[in-house]
Structure 1
Amino acid sequence: MKKHFFALGLAAALLAPQAAGAEGFAINEWSAEGVAMGGARMFAEDDAANVAYNPASITKVKGEAMKSSFTYLSPHGKYEADVVAGGGTEYGQNKVHAGWAVGSYYVKQMNDKDWFGIAAFPRFSMVSEFERGSNAASSNAFFSKLVGVSVTPTYAHKFDKKWSAAVGAEINYVGLELQKNINLPYVALGVVKPGVTTVGTTQIEGESYALGWNAAANYAFDDKNEVGVVYRSKITHSLEADLKGYGKLSATGGDVFGNAYGCVTLPDSWALGYNHKFDKKTRVELNATRTNWSTYDALNISFDQPVLGKFGADSNKNWKDGWRYAIGVEHKLSDKYTVMAGYAYDESSIPYDGGDFMVPTGNRRTYSIGGRYNDKKQTVAVALGWMDIGGLNFKGHTLATGGTDAYSEARTRDNYCKVVSVSYQRNF
């Protein structure tokens, strides 16, 4: 029977869930309990999702546990863009394109000292969509999607009552799709019509697998105070994609079909956590995560077929490293019912000259609450979150500066995201 449950848990964790973050990039919504506590979930007791939040804490799982989590994210926002041709300001909004973050987790206690865990969850994902017509925003990107899934087999060891540590591999999948419009001079009977443009459209779509690793350690000062650290390595993807160009984009003035090549580097990060138990019912977690976004210095794509006479498209990003801070509180009302609340603040890492409509987000503040029911065999949790996404000002890269953007500057505003999450865990 145990072998059956082990095989079932392994298969469930290896299912690659499709995930799309709502106009974000880094995903932290890995379980309903994690959402409820603002992502400050590094020291949870008997929680299989510890494989994601803090691998060293899978030593807190007793026996064997499987968990599934489903988080719904619904983004909303508006923008303004200063149009180059003819001047004036364009007003618009993103299309409400909800995303899902799905996680599967499995943990097995091998003996008093050793644990094994495996998970499939999204670390980086995003989706943004705007009107596809001939407007300023679409010249930069009217549809952008990065689907990311990490599969993380993990080994953890408990040295004594104070120390535990873990190490794991990461098999990371990304699927990337980018669509944009290119404004072209309108030609009739071989004559260019001044001030009149037509629109060509490009689509780049591909996927890649790459390897990374992670390590974590916990130290308990006493029964009430514990600290932990988690490191996740950077992962570099060499992406081969399909290129499709519609409109007068080729040398002969027709469509273009070929291949595109590029590199996407997902950054490494450090997470530091502190856990304090006031008593047997109430505890608080503090968490600070530094993500080295400076690895995302450019998004350069090369083509094997010329598009408007060019064999590539370069875009400097020059993002800066950033911090995420979170605090979460958990209080047991009884042996079966628990309430949770959390707050998180994410710094924006996007500079003025490196922003775009792919990830048009500023500083983010997330407020969340949740509840959980548990007995000896199962746990059910639900959470609600409200993400206040700050506005972002960013520069357009126009034809005059070697780009294709039809705006000189753009600004996002009134951005927010609604979050709903549910988790179910079964213990054996």
Structure 2
Amino acid sequence: MLTLLALSIPAAAFAEGFGVYEWSAAGTAMGDNYMFGENDPSVLAYNPAQITKLNGSYLSIGTAWVNPATSVTFNGLKSSVLNRNNSDEWDNSYSPALIPYMYYAQKAGKNSWWGVAFFARYGNQIEYDDLWPGRYDTVFTGVKGVTLQPTYAFKINDKLSAAVGLDINYVQLRMKKDVPAFAPGSITHLGDIRSDLDGDSTNIGWVASLMYDFTPKTSAAVVYRARVKHTMDADINFSGTLLGLGPQNVSTMAHGTVTLPDSLSLGLGHKFNDRTRMEINATWTNWSTYNALNLTFDDPILGNTKSDNPKDWSAAWRIGIGIEHKLSQKWSILGGYVYDESPVPDEWMDFTVPTGDRHRGSIGFKYRPNETSELAFAYTAIWAGNRDVQSHIGRADYASAYIHDGLTQVLSIGYTVKLK
């Protein structure tokens, strides 16, 4: 009977590295500090109460192109059992992703508005070479998490507005990694078994926001998004060729539960004049809800009926500032900066979330060809802090690794039109 070292399913490590904030091109241009965006229904994602400023009906659509890049330096390969002939330096494969969005909002009555939003809240796509030294953590990580959000907003009085909505939350997970197989009672490496997990889940949360206008030029808002508990049913396949045993292929179902965190966002917006406005936003995300990902199998995998993956992550803050300035009747320039804290503790750091604390800088433009439509363009660079990773299988793969030179680039384009 074979001994599999560190039999574990690739874990969906939902962290700030998996948080998606590219909710609109105009918002991305301001560093995603867009709680008080004007004449734009995409505020449904940032601060739903802001749609009470819309006069008429609006539609906004767009997409963002996101490409993460990072480098890894491994230590201790020469003394490892599994990677002694492998290279020390590696980069992730080119693996861009597209993030679409769509929003519609309209005034429904004297003091009421409604809207529907479709946007991504979670996502990650990163891929490495099949034979790289970190293949026992991950070879491919793909997470897609989208929200469909019907929303109702209303004015309580001339200064105070509120909004409530449903967060119909869908998550799809595809992850691949290797598991090393050894002969019983020895360190003879018989080969690797590739695990390939593919699953999805849908559940419902909610969102609420409250906005207060101190003056026509200064507003504050608070937005709360409730946690969403996902119970995922996934197909899992183990395959590979082992020395003396030939091809191996085992498939079963895996089941696990993960709670996506609740969050609290605070924002302050000020218009200096009719041409220039600024926002300061802060978001607290309760990633401590993700303390483990424990999975069970319908069929035993080489005697194992479950896989326990502790995480013990921490709550994290995201703080930013954004500025929008009208250059003319047709053109505006936007810019923003964000500091994004990582919730991943050193003990459980791995390559599925290859980032530390992040610094994000954005610039973009708006172009208005006429009085009812607007195009937005944005470029964002996200610099990730360096992190150390320790071996999770007793140094059989490597002693430690150093993740560095992390850079994610984002290009966004969007179109907003006033329908009536």
> How far off its partner does 1:390 sit?
1.3
Gaps of 5+ in 1: 1-20
Task: Give yes or no for the alignment of 1:179 onto 2:179.
Answer: no
What do the CA deviations read for 1:197-218 (whole angstroms, capped 9, x no partner)? 4111111111110000000010
Equivalence map 1:129-140=2 (5 Å): 129-133=127-131, 135-140=132-137
The aligned counterpart of 2:275 is 281
The aligned counterpart of 2:408 is 417
**8 A contact 1:284–1:329 mirrored in 2:** yes
What do the CA deviations read for 1:184-238 (whole angstroms, capped 9, x no partner)? 12x6xxx988544411111111111000000001001112211000000111100
For the residue of structure 1 that corresponds to 2:27, the secondary structure is helix
**What is the CA–CA distance in structure 2 between the aligned matches of 1:361 and 1:242, rounded to whole Å?**
28
**What is the CA–CA distance in structure 2 between the aligned matches of 1:217 and 1:23, rounded to whole Å?**
25
**What is the CA–CA distance in structure 2 between the aligned matches of 1:368 and 1:178, rounded to whole Å?**
30
**What is the CA–CA distance in structure 2 between the aligned matches of 1:193 and 1:22, rounded to whole Å?**
37
**What is the CA–CA distance in structure 1 between the aligned matches of 2:398 and 2:314, rounded to whole Å?**
24
TM-score by length of 2: 0.90
- In structure 2, the CA distance between the partners of 1:101 and 1:386, relative to structure 1 (3 Å rule), is same
1:150 to 128, 147, 150: 147
**What is the CA–CA distance in structure 2 between the aligned matches of 1:264 and 1:238, rounded to whole Å?**
7
1:82 to 52, 75, 84: 75
The more displaced of 94-103 and 391-400 is 391-400
**What is the CA–CA distance in structure 1 between the aligned matches of 2:418 and 2:15, rounded to whole Å?**
32
Equivalence map 1:16-415=2 (5 Å): 24-83=17-76, 86-87=79-80, 90-133=88-131, 135-185=132-182, 195-247=188-240, 254-374=248-368, 375-399=370-394, 406-415=397-406
RMSD over aligned Cα, in angstroms?
2.1
The aligned counterpart of 2:4 is none
For the residue of structure 2 that corresponds to 1:58, the secondary structure is helix
The aligned counterpart of 1:427 is 418
> How far off its partner does 1:248 sit?
6.4
For the residue of structure 2 that corresponds to 1:123, the secondary structure is strand
**8 A contact 1:44–1:60 mirrored in 2:** no
The more displaced of 368-377 and 204-213 is 368-377
What do the CA deviations read for 1:116-153 (whole angstroms, capped 9, x no partner)? 011110111112211112x4300111111111110000
**What is the CA–CA distance in structure 2 between the aligned matches of 1:292 and 1:344, rounded to whole Å?**
18
What do the CA deviations read for 1:278-317 (whole angstroms, capped 9, x no partner)? 1111111000000001111112221122223211221111
> How far off its partner does 1:22 sit?
12
- In structure 2, the CA distance between the partners of 1:23 and 1:255, relative to structure 1 (3 Å rule), is farther
Q: Structure 1 counterpart of 2:353, which letter?
A: V
> How far off its partner does 1:406 sit?
2.4
**What is the CA–CA distance in structure 1 between the aligned matches of 2:15 and 2:334, rounded to whole Å?**
23
For the residue of structure 2 that corresponds to 1:56, the secondary structure is helix
What do the CA deviations read for 1:163-186 (whole angstroms, capped 9, x no partner)? 11000001000111111111112x
**What is the CA–CA distance in structure 1 between the aligned matches of 2:35 and 2:116, rounded to whole Å?**
16
What do the CA deviations read for 1:39-61 (whole angstroms, capped 9, x no partner)? 11001111110111110001122
**8 A contact 1:23–1:128 mirrored in 2:** no
For the residue of structure 2 that corresponds to 1:247, the secondary structure is strand
**What is the CA–CA distance in structure 1 between the aligned matches of 2:240 and 2:305, rounded to whole Å?**
17
The more displaced of 197-206 and 283-292 is 197-206
Q: Structure 2 counterpart of 1:175, which letter?
A: Q
- In structure 2, the CA distance between the partners of 1:170 and 1:235, relative to structure 1 (3 Å rule), is same
For the residue of structure 1 that corresponds to 2:157, the secondary structure is coil
**What is the CA–CA distance in structure 1 between the aligned matches of 2:58 and 2:217, rounded to whole Å?**
25
The aligned counterpart of 1:15 is none
Q: Structure 2 counterpart of 1:220, which letter?
A: D
Q: Structure 2 counterpart of 1:48, which letter?
A: P
> How far off its partner does 1:110 sit?
0.6
For the residue of structure 2 that corresponds to 1:300, the secondary structure is strand
What do the CA deviations read for 1:333-372 (whole angstroms, capped 9, x no partner)? 1222211111111011111111111111111111111110
Q: Structure 2 counterpart of 1:132, which letter?
A: D
The aligned counterpart of 1:3 is none
**What is the CA–CA distance in structure 2 between the aligned matches of 1:414 and 1:142, rounded to whole Å?**
19
- In structure 2, the CA distance between the partners of 1:300 and 1:85, relative to structure 1 (3 Å rule), is farther
Q: Structure 1 counterpart of 2:392, which letter?
A: H
Q: Structure 2 counterpart of 1:363, which letter?
A: D
Gaps of 5+ in 2: 1-13
> How far off its partner does 1:83 sit?
4.5
**What is the CA–CA distance in structure 1 between the aligned matches of 2:28 and 2:67, rounded to whole Å?**
14
The aligned counterpart of 1:13 is none
**What is the CA–CA distance in structure 2 between the aligned matches of 1:48 and 1:366, rounded to whole Å?**
24
- In structure 2, the CA distance between the partners of 1:287 and 1:194, relative to structure 1 (3 Å rule), is closer
The more displaced of 358-367 and 89-98 is 89-98
The more displaced of 415-424 and 89-98 is 89-98
**8 A contact 2:236–2:254 mirrored in 1:** yes
For the residue of structure 1 that corresponds to 2:121, the secondary structure is coil
Q: Structure 2 counterpart of 1:367, which letter?
A: G
**8 A contact 2:229–2:260 mirrored in 1:** yes
